[in-house]
Amino acid sequence: MSKLFPKSANKLPLQIIVFLFVFGGIATAGVTYYMTPKYTRVGYAPVQPVPFSHALHAGQLGLDCRYCHSNVDKSGHANVPTAQTCMNCHNQVKVDSPLLAAVRQSYETGDPLPWVKIHQLPDHAYFNHAVHVNRGVSCVECHGKINEMEVVTHTQPLSMGWCLDCHRNPETRVREPGDIYNLNSPTIAEKSGVEAGIKFVHDWNIKPPQSCSGCHR
């Protein structure tokens, strides 16, 4: 009686297992790589309830970041402005602009504006705004040239590796205290060389954590 399957068929189960293992590894690596913030968040620019232009307010008019984000140097979280902050100017400027209808409504009712959060860190990552800006890290390091953006866009990956690059080499990212909110200012290293950045880090006792517990608490 002739054999139903050739002898080579005995290797078929092993071949299937090897194929699934290799395919699964490639698929896992691909998903892991392309599901990082670099690919899922960078370029994200959602429509906001009010078309607020940072290019106009922070760029052309030169408003200090702290006028709207008033707690950024005192709190772990950078607050978004209330309608009251907006109306400090807009009860005199562009009073009847239809673009500001949501602001006027929020001001009158007390209901907060439903701003869409752009820079979203995972819950397991701890980040303190005040610690960073009070130790020479400017807004542009994480948020990009916000003073040139008509629409705020997520420009940096904010991934663990990206954060560690800065924590390991802070001398290349820090600025003088007076330049933190000057979004066009160069870093100390760009202005005076890396040695000057190293000296600033030493003098200010800047020691960014590099262990897991520093950011995962």
Highest mean pLDDT among 15-19, 33-37, 122-126, 132-136: 132-136
- Distance, in Å, from the CA atom of 79 to the CA atom of 70, rounded to the nearest integer, reads 7
**Average pLDDT of the residues of the chain:** 89
Domain range for 177 is 44-80+115-215
Total domains, the chain: 1
CB count in 10 Å sphere of residue 133: 23
Classify residue 86: in a domain, yes or no. no
- Distance, in Å, from the CA atom of 12 to the CA atom of 20, rounded to the nearest integer, reads 12
Classify residue 190: in a domain, yes or no. yes
Classify residue 5: in a domain, yes or no. no
Classify residue 98: in a domain, yes or no. no
Local confidence band at 9 (pLDDT 50, 70, 90 cut-offs)? low
Classify residue 131: in a domain, yes or no. yes
Q: Count CA atoms within 13 Å of residue 212 on its CB side.
A: 1
